[in-house]
Amino acid sequence: MAGYSNTPLVQKLGIKPQHLIMVLAEPSTYWDEVSPLPEDVVVKKKPGKDPIDFIHLFVREKKVFEKELLKNKKFLSQNGMIWVSWPKKSSKVETDITEDVIRNFALKNGLVDIKVCAVNDVWSGLKLVIPVKERK
């Protein structure tokens, strides 16, 4: 459990009961770190016909991040969230992504950041949403 006030990761990320969630390229420890999931959460391996409430992308390369964000944001529910996680500098994992890279690309593509958190000792996360005035 990384971060503030010993808050469980599932709570920091905002996964709620009955959410439809999709997680891409997650580290091997992810599901243990977010367990237990709230009641009736449905985990999807790929998008379907129903909008997704919670998408979590783990990325190391800017090029991959940009492609995955654009590809997956169209599946997001109007009140949903996309978390983008990148390796912390202190992790020594090679990356060309920073919080600013994610924020700037998201803003140019119709999403705003509203929260940052430590996912674990290696990964940080930035929460992106559709701006309220843009929601249908």
> Per the structure, how many domains does the chain have?
1
Does 3 score more than 90 pLDDT? Answer: no
pLDDT of residue 52: 98
Cα of 26 vs its chain's centroid, Å:
10
Half-sphere exposure of 60 (CA within 13 A, CB side): 9
Range 65-93 average pLDDT: 97
Residue-wise pLDDT tens digits, 116-129? 999 999 999 999 99
Q: Are 10 and 38 in contact (CB under 8 A)?
A: yes
Per-residue pLDDT band for 6 (boundaries 50, 70, 90) equals confident
DSSP code of residue 18? T
Adjacent-strand bridge partners of 23: 56
- Which domain range does residue 86 map to? 4-134
pLDDT of residue 5: 63
pLDDT of residue 1: 46
- Residues of the chain with pLDDT > 70: what percent? 96
CATH number of the domain enclosing 18: 3.40.50.150
Helix, strand or coil, per DSSP, at residue 24: strand
The overall average pLDDT reported for the chain is 95
Rounded CA separation 77/93 (Å): 32
